[in-house]
């Protein structure tokens, strides 16, 4: 995948995260947390229900994490492109010096 493709994918991921996924996941996490608290206080013997909700919270967090990784990959691709452009602007002597590092 080229840097341009990585950057474009990151922009799409960020847009989806901002517009759709983050609000939905945040609402989901609030509901799950409230349900866990309710079960823990009203039905503390129902550990299985609490465990299932905790797993759902973990999955929602992981989805958010993975989309965030796509966004950060685009940021890294942008930095790679900038570095490549900066190197391309160097004169021959400066490039030789850089290659020795």
Q: What is the pLDDT of residues 41-95, one digit of tens each?
A: 999 899 999 999 999 999 999 999 999 999 999 899 889 888 888 888 888 888 7
Domain that holds residue 25: 3-100
Total domain count, the chain? 1
Under a CB-based contact definition with an 8 Å cutoff, are residues 60 and 29 in contact?
yes
- pLDDT band with cut points at 50, 70 and 90 for residue 15: very high
Q: What is the pLDDT of residue 35?
A: 95
- pLDDT band with cut points at 50, 70 and 90 for residue 21: very high
Under a CB-based contact definition with an 8 Å cutoff, are residues 43 and 50 in contact?
no
Q: What is the pLDDT of residue 2?
A: 87
| pTM for the model | 0.69
Q: What is the pLDDT of residue 25?
A: 94
- 81 burial (CB, 10 Å; 0-12 / 13-18 / 19+) is middle
């Amino acid at each position: 995948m080229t840097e341009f493709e990585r950057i474009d994918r990151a922009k799409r991921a960020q847009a989806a995260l901002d517009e759709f996924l983050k609000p939905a996941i945040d609402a989901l996490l609030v509901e799950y947390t409230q349900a866990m608290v309710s079960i823990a206080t009203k039905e503390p013997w129902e550990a299985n229900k609490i465990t299932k909700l905790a797993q759902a919270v973990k999955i929602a967090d992981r989805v958010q994490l993975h989309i965030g990784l796509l966004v950060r990959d685009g940021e890294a691709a942008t930095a790679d492109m900038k570095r490549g452009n900066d190197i391309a602007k160097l004169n021959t002597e400066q490039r030789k010096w850089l290659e020795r590092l």
